[in-house]
């Protein structure tokens, strides 16, 4: 958990799917009585501590620095700062708490431990196994981690302590053979079943609403048929591209920028590869034998001069890359299965590996290109740096111009103000708060400002894709309910959709009840409903035109052959099903998957155990007052950072 915001993988860069979890953590931290501190913020003598851990302060400066570092490293959107800001603070708090707890357990972090951790986390500092040197190391840490070398190494020391504490806490965690076997069966058991699909879209034609029913539906859903409030705008836009066109960075500026951002131009060793994959994880011995024979055949054709991309398109079972000739793209070390990675980085460019056995299949790899760890030269980076400087300076000039224009917008005609500061003026006809706006697109913050302002009011400046913008409200058209006759078709469509869904659910119950007595085929035949037979499916399988079977999997795999399950809603449709057979996994599959399953389960249980330890430690420290959070300082800090963004 503590490494969540420091990870460099793609999953950590796109964290919006976890926003609800973050909000929950924030609520626990800042809404539980007695957990947070009060008091005013600012003024002479006021503390700048946003939190304390055992009396040690976490200052606003530390929090600001951590937020800035994480936003840049993981590309987190600034508009969500109020949500992930508290989580970053919580990470800092628990890093301190767990590090201290490790020391209380008598754990230590030697210089060798710290050096090994740095080498593991930042292999680009050791191209070809050789350290880049103290100067480049310091430059890299300052740029990439936004901290000094002593600060960084102290963080690494704490991480070593926490890792040792994690090992101590989770050392006794075990996975039993029964758990491994149960997980294997959960992943590999397959069901064959009869099923009937009651699709509301196919039943809508059976719904014959009267005008009276439609009018009643309309009255019950009047807000649905309300035309939204619309507003006309005078938009002022500072287009950074227009400002950038007037800027030409000097050679000295480019060189200075290069030295200050050297970490950006330091790249680890990487290889571009293509592969052909034959999946074998659930094969029977006979199927596995065929797969090996096919792999040998493909390897033979490659050695005879066959084109790798053509064979990948024909044989590879990797759906994501087969159509691209097997092209995976550039990969760095640590991204592939060890045996595949070893082959990929050892192959000369243009050469093909032999058949590599992995837990998931048989793989043949081709090295398309190989790039050693290197630092891009100033000459190579100059064009990109020049563009970066242009954009940075243009953004500053554009923001200065539009801020000054916005300050005068209430007292002067907007067209005159825009012309005076070299900005664009765009008249916008009345739009709703969901309509795209010329020059802006869809921008929730801008639209919120527009629909929160009064007539002739001027909105705050907002950053938009083209640069910066503000608006003056020139007209307001209030919201109004559309007359029934104008929306009658929409009302009828919505009524049919709702009624058809209810009809599908009702018919599903009737069919399931009849199927339990006569069998699904006979019951469906009387109701003129089609019945199909599924292919053998695991709990993660999918049915054609229905989708994933997860919604019905829990009950399906508990049925006995011949039993009918309860009607289940699956992606808006009602599915009635009768189990025909449960197929056990293929012989030999358990032996191939056992190690991977055991490792995965162990990691899950260890993570759960350490999370529980961490939660208990946090709760104990909060109860004893050893963790304190100044909610007012936190709120002010996050508010200031949001405004700056």
- How many Cβ atoms sit within 10 Å of the Cβ of residue 420? 13
Per-residue confidence at 17, pLDDT binned at 50, 70, 90?
very low
Q: Which residues of 626-645 are buried (b: 16+ CB within 10 A; e: fewer)?
A: bbbbbbbbbbbbbeebeeee
Confidence of residue 376 (pLDDT cuts 50, 70, 90): confident
Which residue is associated with the tokens 């951590």?
A: 66
Using the predicted structure, report yes or no on whether residue 71 has a pLDDT greater than 80: no
Average pLDDT over residues 170-179: 94
Alpha helix positions (H), 304-443: 308-315, 338-346, 378-408, 414-420
- Average the pLDDT over 359-372 and give the result: 92
30 has pLDDT over 70: no
* pLDDT higher than threshold 90 for residue 310: yes
β strands within 159-228, DSSP E: 190-198, 226-227
- The reported pLDDT for the residue numbered 81 is 72
What pLDDT is attached to residue 40? Answer: 34
Average pLDDT over residues 298-317: 94
Give me the pLDDT at residue 21, please: 39
Of the candidate ranges 1-5, 352-356, 413-417, 471-475, the one whose mean pLDDT is the lowest: 1-5
- Residue 640's pLDDT band, with cuts at 50, 70 and 90, is low
pTM of the model: 0.54
* Higher-pLDDT residue of 14, 517: 517
| Angstrom distances, CA of residue 601 to CA of 548, 554, 595 | 24, 20, 10
CB 519 within 8 A of CB 578: yes
Predicted local distance difference test score (pLDDT) of residue 15: 39
Measured at the CA of 403, the angle between CA 401 and CA 405, to 5 degrees, comes to: 70
Name the pLDDT band for 226 (thresholds 50, 70, 90): confident
Q: Report phi then psi at 385, rounded to 5.
A: -65, -45
How many Å apart are CA 377 and CA 382, to the nearest integer?
8
What is the reported pLDDT for 125?
A: 86
Please give the pLDDT value at position 72.
67
Residue with tokens 């001069």: 305
Instruction: Note the maximum CA span of the chain.
Output: 86
Least confident of 12-21, 68-77, 170-179, 301-310: 12-21
Q: What are phi and psi of 365, to 5 degrees?
A: -120, 140
Q: List Cα–Cα distances, 418 to 338, 396, 412, 461, in angstroms.
A: 60, 17, 10, 14
Q: Give the separation between CA 143 and CA 595, rounded to whole angstroms.
A: 41
Query: Is 165:107 a contact under the CB 8 Å cutoff?
Result: yes
Q: For 157-166, 390-399, 634-643, which range has the lowest pLDDT when averaged over its residues? A: 634-643
* pLDDT tens readout for residues 528-553: 999 999 999 999 999 988 999 999 99
The pLDDT, as a whole number, for residue 67 is: 81
The reported pLDDT for the residue numbered 23 is 38
Mean pLDDT, the chain, as a whole number? 87
**Res 1 pLDDT > 90:** no
pLDDT of res. 8:
36
pLDDT at 39: 38
Task: Kindly report, residue by residue over 194-206, the tens digit of the pLDDT.
Answer: 999 999 999 998 9
191 pLDDT above the threshold of 70? yes
- CA-wise closest residue to 634 among 93, 92, 89, 24: 89
**Is the pLDDT score of 566 beyond 90?**
yes
pLDDT of 638: 75
How large is the angle between the packed helices 149-170 and 589-623, nearest 10 degrees?
Answer: 110
Give yes or no for residue 44 having a pLDDT over 50: no
H/E run at residue 142: none
**pLDDT(611) > 50:** yes
């Amino acid at each position: 958990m503590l490494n969540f915001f420091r990870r460099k993988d793609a999953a950590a860069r796109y964290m919006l799917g976890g926003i609800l979890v973050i909000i929950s953590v924030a609520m626990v931290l800042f809404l539980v009585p007695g957990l947070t501190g009060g008091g005013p913020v600012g003024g002479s003598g006021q503390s700048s501590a946003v939190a304390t851990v055992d009396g040690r302060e976490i200052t606003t400066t530390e929090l600001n620095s951590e937020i800035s570092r994480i936003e840049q490293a993981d590309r987190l959107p600034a508009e969500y700062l109020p949500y992930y800001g508290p989580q970053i603070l919580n990470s800092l708090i628990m890093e301190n708490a767990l590090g201290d707890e490790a020391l209380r357990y008598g754990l230590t972090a030697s210089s060798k431990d710290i050096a090994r951790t740095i080498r593991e986390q930042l292999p680009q500092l050791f191209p070809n196994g050789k350290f880049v040197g103290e100067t480049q190391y310091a430059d890299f840490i300052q740029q990439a981690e936004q901290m000094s070398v002593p600060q960084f190494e102290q963080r690494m020391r704490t991480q070593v302590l926490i890792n040792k504490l994690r090992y101590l806490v989770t050392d006794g965690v075990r996975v039993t053979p029964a758990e491994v076997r149960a997980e294997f069966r959960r992943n590999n058991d397959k069901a064959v079943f009869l099923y009937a699909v009651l699709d509301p879209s196919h039943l809508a034609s059976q719904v014959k609403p009267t005008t009276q029913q439609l009018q009643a539906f309309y009255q019950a859903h009047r807000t649905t048929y309300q035309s939204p409030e619309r507003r006309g705008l005078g938009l002022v836009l500072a287009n950074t591209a227009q400002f950038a066109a007037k800027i030409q960075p000097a050679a000295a500026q480019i060189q200075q920028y290069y030295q200050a951002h050297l970490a950006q131009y330091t790249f680890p060793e990487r290889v571009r590869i293509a592969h052909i994959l034959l999946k074998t994880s659930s094969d029977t011995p006979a199927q596995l034998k065929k797969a090996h024979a096919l792999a040998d055949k493909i390897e033979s054709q490659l050695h005879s001069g066959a084109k790798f991309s053509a064979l990948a398109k024909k044989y590879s079972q990797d759906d994501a890359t087969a159509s691209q000739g097997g092209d995976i793209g550039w990969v760095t070390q640590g991204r592939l299965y060890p045996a595949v990675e070893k082959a990929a980085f050892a192959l000369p460019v243009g050469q093909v590996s032999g058949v590599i056995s992995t837990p998931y299949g048989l793989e043949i790899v081709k090295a398309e290109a190989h790039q050693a760890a290197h630092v891009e030269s100033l000459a190579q980076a100059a064009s990109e740096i020049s563009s970066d400087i242009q954009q940075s300076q243009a953004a500053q000039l554009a923001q200065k111009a539009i801020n000054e224009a916005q300050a005068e917008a209430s007292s002067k005609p907007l067209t005159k103000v825009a012309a005076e500061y070299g900005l664009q003026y765009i008249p916008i006809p009345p739009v709703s708060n969901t309509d795209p706006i010329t020059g802006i697109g869809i921008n929730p913050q801008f639209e919120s400002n527009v629909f929160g302002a009064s007539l002739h009011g001027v909105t705050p400046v907002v950053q938009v894709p083209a640069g910066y913008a503000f608006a003056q409200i020139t007209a307001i058209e209030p919201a109004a309910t559309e007359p029934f006759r104008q929306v009658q078709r929409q009302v009828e469509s919505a009524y049919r959709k709702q009624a058809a869904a209810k009809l599908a659910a009702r018919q599903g119950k009737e069919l399931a009840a009849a199927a339990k007595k006569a069998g699904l085929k006979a019951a469906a035949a009387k109701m003129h409903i089609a019945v199909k037979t599924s292919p053998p499916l695991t709990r993660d399988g999918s049915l054609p035109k229905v989708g994933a079977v997860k919604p019905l999997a829990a009950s399906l795999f508990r049925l006995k052959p011949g039993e009918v399950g309860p009607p289940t809603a699956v992606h808006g449709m009602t599915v009635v099903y009768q189990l025909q057979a449960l197929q056990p996994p293929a012989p030999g599959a358990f032996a191939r998957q056992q190690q991977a399953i055991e490792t995965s389960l162990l990691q899950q249980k260890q993570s759960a155990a350490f999370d529980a330890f961490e939660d208990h430690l946090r709760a104990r420290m909060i109860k004893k007052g050893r963790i304190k959070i100044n909610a007012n300082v936190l709120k002010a800090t996050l508010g200031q950072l949001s405004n700056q963004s």
